[in-house]
Chain A
């Protein structure tokens, strides 16, 4: 034993840990604290600014940084000043309070509401109330804690809503007629951005001059495309809308004819925003940028989505009553009651156990899934429906689930991943796996807390999913499939969830984010192209991110020399040496030493027997790291 080794052994645990502590403390010693908090708080607390941005043709999805054609006037805004519908995020089931409001339909210009108008009003109010409850709490509308809307002919409607409801907020949501109009503010009266008119442009929250005609109205919007979206740039919430059909091109023509004129977006006679038109709007879709709170944006979206009430409402009476809570609540974001799945797997597709789709499909997508994993929920509810639509229905793809219990292994003493997976197999025994997985996915805990998949809840979910309980319950309680689940999960060591395999090749660097669809679709397209006789164009690695050059870290193994490694990566030894000034002696590499492989050439010689290299990162011990672009 030489001196160094004996010293090493002499180190106490405390000394070792102390050295590690010193090392760890060197991470980013001087992180500046960004001032973002004030903005974040402001957008959380209440939206106070608003503007409208309209997207160019073809751009869909998040209202991010796409070209701004119609620039906004930013003014303080009253509509967004609506707190959350329910105070403090309390679960409605846990509160004892019910709020009841009675409305009467008001005749307009002497026209009396018909029975059909009353029914329409009930239906719209119900949708508004339910949508709000569901987006706030994800509570099932069929539950005991659901809002009740009843018609009282000839012209009254009673709305009963559970929870600690702020009365004014509720009135704001329900009592609004929801009449949305786009009104031109004539330049001869209101001027243009360059020249002021005789009257100032009205501010947000002000009433619109009722003599001005509306050019477009809410009835021309496509209700299915109205949505509250998170503005990732500003941290607030926006409301997206789209005109439908002919109105879309009419809006374009109209906007082209009124460049530099102001117009107002008006809701029930009150101005939501008043921007001016900077350029023709070439697609009839836009975003109302409100810096809304989530609740405020949802509320506006809800009103727009379900359309205008046939007659204005007037409140006759309201009452706040209390009664015992129907169901006990649980913590950790697990709804006290069962959540009805918002997204359901089509039942008219061929399926076999945990595989969905044409059994002879040329491409198989293997998905490692843990029903407790929120990212898996994102996949199942956002990505999978698109895959089903595009690939599974035409018979090109089958999707096969594989069980992972990775979250159990991260949570001491928990077996809920296993139990949920086993329950899924019990459902598969009945040929109803896909229906059941919809319910599982919808009822997980958003923070993976235990309690979402107790045996009792799993059984209740099965009941709601319409399974044969006489077979399901014995299957679940006996733990018939537990061992199979653990065995399958055991083969997935090191695989996170969800992990995707396309025809057996793992998709690296993808995830369950909504954008994962693009990655998956690209991989599936490539696999389809491979199975067809025509060769597909090969894709090259994308350009590096701004100012960051991607390099590969290679860990030297015994027997490596600079020349050997350079040859592996088709570099010259000189290039490799130049990229690794930290190597003290290029002639004597130490096993375990990390070598930086410069970019562009880090595909090693492909092994001709394997065919195309499935992934650009073939070295198990390699790590891809971004490096700054070297300055000249």
Chain B
């Protein structure tokens, strides 16, 4: 019953289909394709921000549920899908982080995605999180987030600005400040 929608299409086209599709099933199928296409992006963003696989899964799930509810109510994205999804995710992330009163639980090997078998890539994961711990310690939260969005997600400056609620030039200045911080801490990128 579920229509297969090619996932390699751009999300914009998908959204157009979502928006224009008349019958519910078809629209939902398109939204599902968007979910398949963007789940990883949203999950990784949440993971880097929250540093807990469990929280990231929760937040990602909730973000998509909210996105779907919003779209269903006619409040879909006006432009592209990813910044819109990340904007929704970011609110949840901030809320979650605040509730938790961050004590930096790092998802080293222990916290793999719950649906993943046990022995996948734990070494690489530990290595990554030890590095990220240092990265996160040296870079202030906003500089860190701007780098995560720009270089992990490949978003452009106006899109990042949309997510963070600041202007594109403010984004560029944050990136420049992050560069300066990185220069002072060469062990992060060497």
Q: Residues on A close to B: CB < 8 A?
A: 8, 13, 16-17, 19-21, 23-34, 36-38, 40-41, 44-45, 88-90, 235, 373-375, 378, 410-412, 447-448, 496-497, 499, 507-513, 516, 547-549, 553, 592, 594, 617, 623-628
Whether A623 contacts B133 by the Cβ 8 Å rule is yes
The 9 closest A-B pairs by CB, nearest first: A511-B99, A21-B151, A625-B106, A19-B189, A89-B73, A626-B110, A548-B110, A24-B152, A33-B39
Other than the given A23-B189, A553-B133, 12 more pairs (CB < 8 A) read: A17-B179, A24-B148, A24-B151, A26-B128, A34-B61, A38-B2, A41-B28, A412-B170, A448-B91, A499-B101, A594-B133, A594-B134
Most buried by A among B31, B64, B111, B188: B111
Whether B151 contacts A625 by the Cβ 8 Å rule is no
Interface residues of B in 102-117 (CB under 8 A from A): 102-111, 113, 115-116
**Separation of A511 and B187 alpha carbons in the complex (Å):** 34
A-B contacts, 26 of them at CB < 8 A, read A8-B190, A16-B182, A17-B179, A17-B182, A20-B151, A23-B135, A24-B148, A25-B152, A28-B44, A32-B115, A41-B28, A374-B95, A412-B166, A447-B91, A496-B102, A511-B99, A512-B98, A516-B99, A553-B133, A623-B106, A624-B103, A626-B107, A626-B110, A626-B111, A627-B108, A628-B110
CB neighbours of A24 from chain B (8 A): 48, 147-148, 151-152
- In the complex, B157 has a CB within 8 A of chain A: no
CB neighbours of B129 from chain A (8 A): 625
CB neighbours of B110 from chain A (8 A): 547-549, 625-628
From B72, B104, B188, A88 is in contact (CB under 8 Å) with B72
B interface: dominant SS: helix
- In the complex, B20 has a CB within 8 A of chain A: no
Q: Residues on B close to A: CB < 8 A?
A: 2, 28, 31-32, 35-36, 39-40, 43-44, 47-48, 57, 61, 64-65, 68-69, 72-74, 91, 94-95, 97-111, 113, 115-116, 120-122, 124-125, 128-135, 147-148, 151-152, 165-166, 170, 175-176, 179, 182-183, 186-190
CB neighbours of B48 from chain A (8 A): 24, 27
CB neighbours of A27 from chain B (8 A): 44, 47-48, 128, 132, 152
Whether B69 contacts A44 by the Cβ 8 Å rule is yes
* Whole-angstrom distance between the Cβ of A401 and the nearest chain B Cβ: 17
Whether A16 contacts B91 by the Cβ 8 Å rule is no
CB neighbours of A516 from chain B (8 A): 99
CB neighbours of A509 from chain B (8 A): 100-101, 103
Known: A617-B103, A624-B103, A626-B105. A30 touches B121 (CB 8 A): yes
* Residue of chain A at shortest CB distance from B53: A28
* Whole-angstrom distance between the Cβ of B177 and the nearest chain A Cβ: 11
* Whole-angstrom distance between the Cβ of A628 and the nearest chain B Cβ: 4
